[in-house]
Amino acid sequence: MIECCKVKKSFKGKLVLDEIEMKMKPGNIYGIIGRNGSGKTVLMKCICGFLQPDAGKVVVNGKTIGKDVDFIENAGVIIETPGFIPYFTGYQNLKNLASIRKKVSKKEIEDTMEYVGLNPKNHTMVAKYSLGMRQRLGIAQAIMENPEVLILDEPMNGLDKEGVEDIRKLLLQLKEQGKVILMASHNAEDIELLCDHVWEMDKGVAVKVR
């Protein structure tokens, strides 16, 4: 479970998050909508531990982020454009990331790439990837270690119609596996089709609209 308890965050005196209250449980997809600058990405960064709230707290599975643990544990994250080594192939990038925690095998990396619609034997460097291929690789990076939690900021960014359909199916499958999925999207259709619960953010305030 993820719980945001009166989370506040300001930058240079401007209030970006105003006492955010949220609860998220396994087996659900949660959506955040709102205009650019409404605080969606800042909230996701606070949940992950990339930013510390000025007040309030984020608790994930009973552990307070920034106190009990520095960063969210057992989570796959895409926030802003996924960063990869441009002169590595997609497979080499994932293998490099997987070597940090050594939780997945070569076969599991290959299977994950195929799962998101990429060929693990493709020798094209990531620098030559289309935006859609890079986004698929980002999703592969997020899910390859089978995390309990997925934090996804605009996961459909750059995908063509077929890619969007593929990732929608993937997210619904992951939901059925009992994951907690939090996604921000500007696409109303994605939110409508995928999300069980939705918050709308405006001027740092989150209002539950579904």
Q: Same domain for 170 and 210?
A: yes
Q: How far apart are CA 169 and CA 49, in angstroms?
A: 28
Q: Same domain for 52 and 107?
A: no
Q: Same domain for 188 and 142?
A: no
Per-residue pLDDT 10s for the chain (210 aa) are 899 999 999 998 899 999 999 999 999 999 999 988 888 999 999 999 999 999 999 999 999 999 999 999 999 999 876 779 999 999 999 999 999 888 899 999 999 999 999 999 999 999 999 988 999 999 999 999 999 999 999 988 888 888 899 999 999 999 999 999 999 988 889 999 999 999 999 988 999 998
Please state whether beta strands 55-60 and 63-64 pair in parallel, antiparallel, or not at all (unpaired).
Answer: antiparallel
Q: Same domain for 132 and 49?
A: no
Select from 165, 179, 194, 209 the least CA-distant residue to 22: 209
Domain of residue 68, residue span: 1-74+148-210
In a domain, 79, yes or no: no
Domain boundary among 109, 131, 146: 146
- The CATH number assigned to the domain holding 68 equals 3.40.50.300
- pTM, two decimals, is 0.91
- Total domain count, the chain: 2
Q: Same domain for 19 and 45?
A: yes
- The pLDDT score that the predictor gives to residue 38 is 87
The residues pairing with 152 across neighbouring beta strands, listed in sequence order, are 78, 183
Q: Same domain for 64 and 90?
A: no
- The contacts of residue 169 (CB under 8 Å, 6+ apart) are none
Q: Same domain for 163 and 123?
A: no
